[in-house]
Amino acid sequence: MTDPTDRYAELHTAPEPPLLAQLTRETHLQLLMPRMSSGHVQGRMLSLLSHLVRPRRILEIGTFCGYATLCLGEGLAANGLLHTIEIDPEKEARIRRYVAAAGLTEQVRLHIGAALDVLPGLVDEVWDLVFIDADKRNNDAYFEAVIDQVRPGGLLIVDNVLWGGKVLPTHALKAGDKDTPLVRAFNDKMARDPRVEPVFLPLRDGLLLLRRK
């Protein structure tokens, strides 16, 4: 059952492009955990932010089905490049197929492997926009791996920072939950990190926007 607030937001947000609607349907039919895809409203937010930044270089950590990749790619500057990293090689064919359908083959560089292994090969890049949406326990490791390459005034976006509401202090941790304390610690660190200016948006499962000072 769709939450009425979510439905209202969808109705008052720019329509989901047909290619992305097709990817959404395919993702729900063929992939486990389809909610990992950004979806309509969050996808339009990512597209809007990319259009505002007009990035020459985008880094995405965690491609999944490629939905956010296509949204971020909509705002790329002419001759811009988007590097995206996906750990699961079984997702490669689908990602490449949709990147091609979006006309972004020449602008998207897909890297298959663990992000912390791939990132050292990209140390010469200067990022205008970074989207972190991979395993949440490594949010801090990904942030530290890339922050010095983000240009002053550049934008970092971190997904799932609400973590299903489990980060809230009123939520009691369950035994064996190793992820929630790490997401909480990362959020707390970003709130006081002097290198960035944070804005926490309770959109979907939480987006943390970080402007590089």
Supply the pLDDT for residue 12.
97
Supply the pLDDT for residue 33.
83
Per residue in 32-45, pLDDT (tens digit) is 887 778 899 999 99
pLDDT of 1 > 60? The answer is no
Answer yes or no: pTM beyond 0.85: yes
Report the CATH number that the domain containing residue 42 is assigned in CATH.
3.40.50.150
pLDDT of 163 > 90? The answer is yes
Supply the pLDDT for residue 80.
97
Supply the pLDDT for residue 120.
97
DSSP state of 77: P
pLDDT of 18 > 90? The answer is yes
Per residue in 46-98, pLDDT (tens digit) is 999 999 999 999 999 999 999 999 999 999 999 999 999 999 999 999 999 99
Supply the pLDDT for residue 74.
98
Q: Residue 209 is encoded by which pair of tokens?
A: 């926007």
Residue with the bigger pLDDT between 3 and 43: it is 43
Closest CA to 91 of 39, 25, 27: 27
Supply the pLDDT for residue 126.
98
Supply the pLDDT for residue 99.
98
What mean pLDDT do residues 172-194 have? Answer: 94
Supply the pLDDT for residue 135.
95
Q: For residue 58, what is the enclosing H or E element?
A: strand 57-61
Supply the pLDDT for residue 67.
96
Distance CA 60, CA 62 (A): 6
Q: Residue 203 is encoded by which pair of tokens?
A: 């959109």
Supply the pLDDT for residue 174.
87
Domain range for 25: 4-212
Residue with the bigger pLDDT between 199 and 175: it is 199
Closest CA to 198 of 133, 122, 149, 147: 147
Supply the pLDDT for residue 117.
98
Per residue in 102-153, pLDDT (tens digit) is 999 999 999 999 999 999 999 999 999 999 999 999 999 999 999 999 999 9
62, amino acid identity: G
Supply the pLDDT for residue 201.
97
Cα dist from 68 to 41, 166, 213, whole Å: 11, 24, 25
The tokens 């492009």 sit on which residue?
A: 17
Domain count across the chain: 1
Q: What angle do CA 28, 206, 111 make, to 5 degrees?
A: 60
Closest CA to 130 of 195, 65, 98, 83: 83
Distance CA 213, CA 199 (A): 13
